[in-house]
A and B are shown apart, each in its own frame.
Chain A
Amino acid sequence: DAEITQSPRHKITETGRQVTLACHQTWNHNNMFWYRQDLGHGLRLIHYSYGVQDTNKGEVSDGYSVSRSNTEDLPLTLESAASSQTSVYFCASSEGANFNEQFFGPGTRLTVL
């Protein structure tokens, strides 16, 4: 069965370190998204991609970067982790039209000390 996976599921790191969260999907979807989920804010879009070599900033992109070198993967990098980036991160993918659903990964809980 097709799926979307994230790794690691839990990560503890220190302020200033570079961290990369992996997202891999086997749906062969063109669209991929990264969100962060925080109490009181719901889900906020960090970055998104509509295809290979395409990346776009979302509403909370400062301090994060992504790259899309193939269809299956969209890794999220925190260049210099900050305590404000402690959150749960979700990756999602979808195909085509705006009325299609997004499929979500299980999430990565990141703690920055």
Chain B
Amino acid sequence: GNSVTQMEGPVTLSEEAFLTINCTYTATGYPSLFWYVQYPGEGLQLLLKATKADDKGSNKGFEATYRKETTSFHLEKGSVQVSDSAVYFCALTPSGGYQKVTFGIGTKLQVIP
């Protein structure tokens, strides 16, 4: 079956540090890949996505590149802010057919001033 692997954290960084959250996946074919973010007390919201190999998704300074050869979709940001403190979920939907999302466990990010 499909699966998504990411570290649970928490990841603690100082403001303006570089962020990487690793995500690897297992799926057949060409899934679509997503990063969702959950701020405290809220539901998840889409941060970025990529739908085919070598695509780069980007939003709010975050980036992730769909790497088919390494089955990865690592999230990066060059300079984090306190307001980026949240839980980040990597996710995939399988190619073809209806949409059913497989989520990773979520990585908690804490950014300290």
Interface residue ranges, A against B (CB under 8 Å): 31, 33, 35, 40-43, 45, 48, 50, 90, 92, 94, 96-102, 104-107
Q: Evaluate contact between A97 and B103: CB separation under 8 angstroms.
A: no
List 8 A-B residue pairs with CB atoms under 8 Å apart, sorted by A's residue number.
A42-B104, A42-B106, A43-B44, A43-B103, A101-B46, A102-B101, A104-B43, A107-B43
- B11 CB–A CB distance under 8 Å: no
Min CB–CB distance A40 → chain B (angstroms): 7
B99 within 8 A of A: yes
List which B86-113 residues lie within 8 A (CB) of chain A.
Answer: 89, 93-101, 103-106
Query: Which residues does chain B contribute within 8 Å of A102, judged by CB atoms?
Result: 44, 46, 99, 101
Contacts A42-B105, A99-B32, A100-B99 given: A105-B43 contact, CB under 8 Å? yes
Note all chain B residues with C-beta closer than 8 A to A107. 42-43
Contact call B99/A43, Cβ cutoff below 8 A: no
Binding site for A on B (CB under 8 A): 8, 31-32, 34, 41-46, 49, 51, 89, 93-101, 103-106
The residue of chain B having its C-beta at the shortest distance from the C-beta of A43 within the complex is B103
- Candidates B41, B49, B105; contact of A101 at CB < 8 Å: B49
Known A31-B98, A45-B100; contact A99-B93, beta-carbon cutoff 8 A: yes
Q: How far is the CB of A55 from chain B (nearest CB, A)?
A: 13
Which one of A40, A43, A98 contacts B95 once the chains associate, using CB atoms below 8 Å? A98
Asked whether B103 lies within 8 Å of A42 as measured between CB atoms, the reply is: yes
Determine the residue in chain B with the shortest Cβ distance to A58: B100
Closest CB-CB distance, A74 to chain B, in whole Å?
15
Question: Is A31 a contact of B43 with CB atoms below 8 Å?
Answer: no
Interchain nearest-CB distance for B52 vs A (Å): 9
Known A41-B105, A99-B32; judge A31-B89 contact (CB<8 A): no
Knowing A42-B89, A43-B89, the reply to whether A98 touches B99 (Cβ < 8 A) is: yes
Interface centre among B89, B101, B103, B104 (most CB of A within 10 A): B101
